[in-house]
Amino acid sequence: MLGVHLGLVPYLQRVCQELGRLEPQPVYDLCDHLERAYQSRAMIFVIGNGGSGANASHLCEDLNKCTLRDFENQSRLRVLSLTDNTPGITAWANDEGYDRIFVEQLKTYASPGDVLIAISGSGNSPNILKAVEWANANGLTTFGMTGFSGGKLKTMAHKTIHVAIDDMGIAESIHQVVFHWVVDDIYRRISGPIAQASANSTD
């Protein structure tokens, strides 16, 4: 935890430094795949543990609501955070093991052509890796969100957005910054034409 050793100003400076080091192309790739999922009506699944689980829930909510302009008539992204099915998670964890809480849900809901966003700061969470392994074998496109060295997830996922810092809090914070831009970009892609058409109709 860098904040134990750094004061506020140097801590924030380090966050800015790490943001500047982020490779943009995988973020653009994620947006491209989310747009394709929107157009094809494919499902988008998000998974994570702990703070990354909270980020998964937050991303799901934002993609569901904040990408829309016309709440009544517009087609919507089909997004599901598998971190939020508490009864299902506890049932699988209690009876079969915590490493199966996500993959067993994917077996229920997922189809070829869907997208899986897997968030793991270490990149080595067994339940994340098992879900990505299954998704890769069953026709889903997988995106990893990692910190530290990236762990196994960095190479297992089809694409990885990697924050190369040995600090979980900063990695999770930068993941959230990236997600907020992704939501804005998807809004531009799927709601921008609606907004522009509405503006043109009043000219």
Q: Say what the pLDDT of residue 200 is.
A: 59
Please check whether residue 100 lies inside any domain of the structure: yes
Over 70: is that where the pLDDT of 201 sits?
Answer: no
Range(s) of the domain holding residue 15: 2-189
Of 4 and 103, the one with more pLDDT: 103
pLDDT tens-digit map of 84-99: 999 999 999 999 999 9
Please check whether residue 196 lies inside any domain of the structure: no
Report the CATH number at residue 38. 3.40.50.10490
Whether the CB-CB separation of 143 and 160 falls below 8 Å is answered with: yes
Phi and psi, residue 118, nearest 5°: -115, 120
pTM: 0.93
Long-range (24+ apart) CB contacts under 8 A made by 21-29 are: 21/164, 22/161, 22/163, 22/174, 22/178, 23/161, 23/162, 26/143, 26/159, 26/160, 26/161, 26/162, 27/161, 27/178, 27/181, 27/182, 29/143, 29/159
Please check whether residue 25 lies inside any domain of the structure: yes
Please count the structural domains in the chain: 1
Please check whether residue 40 lies inside any domain of the structure: yes
Please check whether residue 60 lies inside any domain of the structure: yes
Please check whether residue 145 lies inside any domain of the structure: yes
Closest by Cα among 73, 85, 77, 17 to 47: 85
Q: Say what the pLDDT of residue 194 is.
A: 66
Confidence of residue 2 (pLDDT cuts 50, 70, 90): confident
